[in-house]
Amino acid sequence: MAQRLDALLAQTSLVVSDPQKQQLLQLVGLLHKWNKAYNLTSVREPDDMLVKHILDSLVVSPWLQGSRFIDVGTGPGLPGLPLAILNPDKQFVLLDSLGKRIRFIRQVIHELGLTNVTPVQSRVEDYQPEQGFDGVLSRAFASLLDMLAWCHHLPSVEGRFLALKGVCPDEELTCLPAGLTLQAVQPLQVPELGAERHLIIIKRQ
């Protein structure tokens, strides 16, 4: 599994230390183990998890600007946990409404010794942070327009939405809510995924 991770990372420009690789492999191990009882993801095989969950999350890292991020509808911590492992100098709130997913994230934090992750069990609409975030991350959470409606209170004045999507949601991009503007549609290359990925970056006007 370690060689497989190295081979995948070699197809990216990401710089990942040996301890970080170890933590990513531990995360896959825990996902695989807990998935049997908790049904955390439909991706069952560790090898598939490396591509579809770990690499698919890590490729967002170059677009993280700032120091405080929230991953809404994080499920079992995706993309938040891989990004937190790769960016120990940044803080990540991982939010989901389901208790069993937050319990899994707490276990990962404990076993990997992560100090930059805060799990929160809440519906995103009800969550009122003391401070806005530099980035609001989402993957497989909701339609773009629903996500923007439910999360409008989360970014700081300069903060941005970073939505990880498959095919670019062109139609939704033509009707963004007032006060928001499209900053970029960034195609992402996920090694060996064989599917389109895009990062939609939206900021305040």
Ligand X SMILES: C[S@@+](CC[C@H](N)C(=O)[O-])C[C@H]1O[C@@H](n2cnc3c(N)ncnc32)[C@H](O)[C@@H]1O
Under rule CB under 6 A, which residues in 116-155 are in contact with ligand X?
123-125, 139-141
Stretch that binds ligand X, among 11-19, 28-36, 72-80, 108-116 (CB under 6 A): 72-80
| Identity of the residue, 15 or 195, whose beta carbon is nearer to ligand X in the bound complex | 195
| Identity of the residue, 15 or 80, whose beta carbon is nearer to ligand X in the bound complex | 80
Of 91, 116, 117, nearest to 104 by C-alpha is 117
Burial 57-91 (b: 16+ CB within 10 A, else e): bbbbbeebeeebbbbbbbbbbbbbbbbbbbbeebb
The nearest distance, CB 55 to ligand X, in angstroms, is 13
Question: At which residue do the structure tokens 């503007």 appear?
Answer: 181
| Identity of the residue, 60 or 202, whose beta carbon is nearer to ligand X in the bound complex | 60
Q: Per-residue x/- marks for ligand X, 89-108, CB under 6 A?
A: ------xxxx--x-------
Q: Is 185 in the site for ligand X (CB under 6 A)?
A: no
CB count within 10 Å of CB 46 equals 18
Helices (H), 113-185: 144-150, 170-173
Given the rule CB under 6 A, which residues bind ligand X?
73-75, 78, 95-98, 101, 123-125, 139-141
